[in-house]
Structure 1
C-alpha cells in the first residue's frame, strides 16, 4: 500500500484539467426541440418546423451566467432527438430546416460569439445517442458522429469542454450503437487539444448523480478503472423515467482514500464535476416556473462542490422565447450577489503567516498569502503532519476559510483541523478531510487574533497555495447595525 500512496502523491493534472478546474462554476444550457414539445427526451421524429424561438438572445444567457459568477457555458448542440442547433452539412435534421431566421441561423455560433464577447469559456454537448438518424446502430454512424464533432470543433473558436453522457438506447431502426469512444477522443485531441472531455471521457469524472449530491471526500487521484464507469452500455440511461435527475447513486462514496487505492494497478488524475439543474427538469417546462431551486439550495451545492474539490455545472434551461426565464435569472443574480459579497474582502491579506516547518524561502508560509497560484508553502519531503498559523495585529471576526493545495504538485492532504486562539487556548472551528484545488470551510462566527490549520494526515508532504479568511455578508451586516 505504501508504494501506491507514494505514487498517488505524485500524480498530477494536465494543463487542460487545471484550466478547467479554475473555472469552478459554469452553466449547462439545455435548449432544442424538447423546449417546444414540453418533453425531456424527444423521440427523433419531431419536425424542425417546431423550432422557432421568437426572442432568442444569447447575450441574455451570458449576462445571466455572469451575474451568478459563472465562468463558462456548455450548450446542448444536439440532444438524444438528433436535432442540431447548427446547420450541419451531414444531416437535414437541423435548424436550417426550421422557420427560425428563415433557416439561415446558426444558434451555436451566436452562443459561442456571445460567450467570447462576454468573457465566458464555451463548451459543447453532443449526444452520442441519436433517435433520429438512420445510421445509428452501424459503423457509418460513428463516422457521422465524428464528422459532427469536426464541425463543432473547427467552426466556433476555442472550446473548453466536450461533454458526453453515456445514454445508449435504440435508434429509429431498433438498433443500439457501439460507440467509438477512442475515435471520438482522437478527433477532439487533434482539433481542440485544450478541451477537457467530460463524464464519458478521460479528463473529468461525473460525481455519480444529477441531484447535486457531493462526497464528503472528493479525491482527484483515483483508480484508472473509473474512466470506464459511465461508458458501460448496460448501465447507461436508456429511458426517461422522470426520476434519474433527482436520483442519488454516486457509486462508492470513498474512491480515493488509502484503503480505496490499495491494490489499484494504475492511478490517474480524474477530478469530479457536480451537475444538476436549477429546475426539476433539464429542459424548460412552464409548469416548473415556480419550482426553481432556492438560493439556499444553490449555495449549499456550491459550497459542497466548488468548496469540496469539484466543479459545479448548473443547468439553466431557456424557454420557448429563447430567454432564460425571469425566475431563474433573478435567482442567479441573487446567488451572485451573495457569493461576491462573501468573498470580496480577504481578511488574511494583512496577516502574518508562520509554520511548524518550511522547505526554504521559496516555500515559506507567506506564500499562502501572496495570491499567486504557482507559489506555495510546503514542509520538507517526508513530513506528513504540519501546522500553519495566521496572526493579525488586532482581533478579526470570521466564519469562512478557503484553503487551496498546489495541485500542480498533486493532491496530498488527507485530514485537517482549523482552530482559533481564544484566551490563550486553541479552540476547534472545523474538521475536514481533503482539500485539493479548493476547500471552503464554514463554521459559526469566531473572533480572534490568530487562526491555524493543523494538517493531521497527508501523503509524502503537504502543499498549500492559499489560506484565505472571510466574514459572510449576514454577519457583516449585523456588525454594521450594531
Structure 2
C-alpha cells in the first residue's frame, strides 16, 4: 500500500464531514469571555503519559520502539475519578511529547499507539472518561519532535504539514477541546522559532477547526509577563523557575507543577512521598486563583496506566481541603494576543549615541533579556528600525528594560518623508500600538521625556491579519 502524503491527508481532513460540522458550528465566543471561563475553571489535572513513562526518563530515546508502550491495565476512568475527587474541573493529556510518539489513532505516522501492544486510542478513552465525569477536556501537543527530526535547523515543509495534519486530527475526532497546550516551540531550549513553524498559520488553523479552543504556548521562559505573545493564556512552569507576579499580574494565566518529583512516571514514584496536599492548596491553588491564574497539577500514570495509590490519596485529601467558590473576579481588559511574525527581528537598526555594550542591535535581537540603552547625556534619544524595502505593518510594540520612558512618539518613513504614527498610550514596560496598515521602509521611536536613560529590550513591528 502506498503511503498517503501529509499534504493530501491534510486536504482530505479539511474536507471531511466532521470538519465541515466543526466549521459550521455557532459563531466564536469572544476571546475575553473564553479567557474568563478558563481562569474560572481554577484547577485541573495535567497527565504526562507517553513513551517516557516506560523509560524512566522525561526525555527518552527518540528511537525507542512502539512495542515498549504497553499499559496492560490502562483505565482512564480511574484518572477521571481521581480528578473529580480533587474537585478539579478539567484534564490535559500529552497526546505527543518531545520524542514524537502519538497516543491516538493517527494516519500521519506509524509511530503511534495503534502499532504498540495496546492498540487502543488513548486520547479517545481519556476524552470519553473525563466528559463522563463532567470534566472539561484539554490536550497537550509538542512541536519539537525528535523522532521525526522536527528540531532546530532541520525543519522542512513536510514537518509543517505533519503538524497541521496531526492538529487537524486532534481537533476534529474528539469533540470539543477547551484548550490546546503547545510546548517545545520558540523556547530557549527548543530553538524552533515561530518562523520555522509559522505560528500564525497554526493558530488560525486551530481557530478555524474549533473557534472556541484556546491555544496556549508554554513560552514564559522567553516572553515577558506583561503581554500575551503567541498565546491566549500566559503560562508558568514553576519547576523551571517561572512564577507569576502575585502583585502585578493582570493577564489570564496558567501555572503548572507536578505532584511528584518529575513530569513522567519514575520507578521510585510509588515509594517516594508526593507534595503535601495542604501546601498545594494553600500556597498554590488559593494564592494563584487570587490573581486570575488557573493551577494545573501534573499526575503521572504508571506503566500499568493507573495513577499510583499515594497520588490518589493526596488528590482525595486536596478535595477535602478545597472546593471551588464560584467565578473569579472579572479580568482586566487587555490587548489581543500578538500572533504575527516580528518584522523587526534582526533587521538593521540605528539609534542615538549608546555605549557599545548596549548598542542598537540588542533591541531587535529576539532576546528580551538584552537591551539597547541610550547614553545618559543624550537629551532626545531615538531608536530606528531600517527595513531593506517598503513593508506593510499595522502594529508596533516596545518593551522597556525598566520603566523610564514617560513620553515618546512614533514615526514611519514613506518615500523619504517621516510621518506620524499613533501617540503613546500604554502604561508600564510594554507599550502596544495598533493602527491602520501603513507602508514604509523605516520605523522610529523618539523619546520626548524620560526619568533616566531609556533602555529598550525589544522592538516589534508586525503586519497582523485583521
- Alignment-derived partner of residue 76 in structure 1: 94
Deviation by residue 1:371-396 (Cα, 9 ceiling, x = unmatched): 8x6xxxxxxxxxxxxxxxxxxxxxxx
- The yes-or-no answer on 1:15 pairing with 2:17 is no
Aligned residues of 2:45 and 2:91 also touching (Cα < 8 A): yes
Match of 2:241 among 245, 248, 265: 248
**CA–CA separation in structure 1 for the residues paired with 2:133 and 2:242:** 36
Q: Summarize the alignment of residues 114-125 of structure 1 with structure 2, pairs less than 5 Å apart.
A: 114-125=129-140
**CA–CA separation in structure 2 for the residues paired with 1:249 and 1:16:** 24
Aligned residues of 1:222 and 1:255 also touching (Cα < 8 A): no
- Alignment-derived partner of residue 158 in structure 1: 176
**CA–CA separation in structure 2 for the residues paired with 1:335 and 1:187:** 38
- 1:166 positional shift: 3.5
**CA–CA separation in structure 2 for the residues paired with 1:229 and 1:119:** 26
- The yes-or-no answer on 1:322 pairing with 2:340 is no
- Alignment-derived partner of residue 453 in structure 1: none
**CA–CA separation in structure 1 for the residues paired with 2:174 and 2:148:** 24
- Alignment-derived partner of residue 374 in structure 2: none
**CA–CA separation in structure 1 for the residues paired with 2:158 and 2:207:** 21
**CA–CA separation in structure 1 for the residues paired with 2:90 and 2:129:** 11
Q: Summarize the alignment of residues 415-426 of structure 1 with structure 2, pairs less than 5 Å apart.
A: none
Aligned residues of 1:131 and 1:170 also touching (Cα < 8 A): no
**CA–CA separation in structure 2 for the residues paired with 1:324 and 1:55:** 11
- The yes-or-no answer on 1:131 pairing with 2:149 is no
- Alignment-derived partner of residue 283 in structure 1: 264
Deviation by residue 1:278-333 (Cα, 9 ceiling, x = unmatched): 01100011213313101122112111212332110110100001001110000000
- Alignment-derived partner of residue 53 in structure 1: 71
Match of 1:191 among 189, 201, 209: 209
**CA–CA separation in structure 2 for the residues paired with 1:296 and 1:330:** 13
Inter-CA distance 302–63: structure 2 relative to 1 (3 Å threshold): same
- Alignment-derived partner of residue 441 in structure 1: none
Q: Name structure 2 gaps, 5 residues minimum.
A: 1-29, 336-426, 428-466
- 1:407 positional shift: 3.5
Q: How many aligned positions are there?
A: 297
Select between 331-340 and 246-255 the one with higher mean Cα deviation.
246-255
- Alignment-derived partner of residue 5 in structure 1: none
Inter-CA distance 107–228: structure 2 relative to 1 (3 Å threshold): closer
- 1:168 positional shift: 6.2
Name the SS of the counterpart of 2:215 in structure 1: strand
Bigger share in helix = 1
- Alignment-derived partner of residue 302 in structure 1: 285
Inter-CA distance 121–228: structure 2 relative to 1 (3 Å threshold): closer
- 1:270 positional shift: 3.7
Name the SS of the counterpart of 1:148 in structure 2: helix
**CA–CA separation in structure 1 for the residues paired with 2:150 and 2:318:** 44
**CA–CA separation in structure 1 for the residues paired with 2:130 and 2:89:** 9
Name the SS of the counterpart of 1:314 in structure 2: strand
- 1:164 positional shift: 0.9
Deviation by residue 1:381-427 (Cα, 9 ceiling, x = unmatched): xxxxxxxxxxxxxxxxxxxxxxx53348789xxxxxxxxxxxxxxxx
Match of 1:109 among 120, 124, 128: 124
Q: Name structure 1 gaps, 5 residues minimum.
A: 1-11, 210-220, 231-243, 257-268, 345-370, 374-403, 412-458, 460-482
- The yes-or-no answer on 1:141 pairing with 2:159 is yes
- Alignment-derived partner of residue 406 in structure 1: 330
**CA–CA separation in structure 1 for the residues paired with 2:245 and 2:43:** 24
- 1:196 positional shift: 1.0
Aligned residues of 2:46 and 2:92 also touching (Cα < 8 A): yes
Match of 2:318 among 335, 355, 368: 335
**CA–CA separation in structure 1 for the residues paired with 2:192 and 2:331:** 40
**CA–CA separation in structure 2 for the residues paired with 1:114 and 1:249:** 32
Inter-CA distance 135–40: structure 2 relative to 1 (3 Å threshold): closer
- 1:249 positional shift: 4.3
CA RMSD in angstroms comes to 3.5
Match of 1:227 among 211, 226, 229: 229
- 1:31 positional shift: 0.1
Name the SS of the counterpart of 1:45 in structure 2: coil
Inter-CA distance 306–53: structure 2 relative to 1 (3 Å threshold): same
| TM-score normalised by the chain length of structure 2 | 0.58
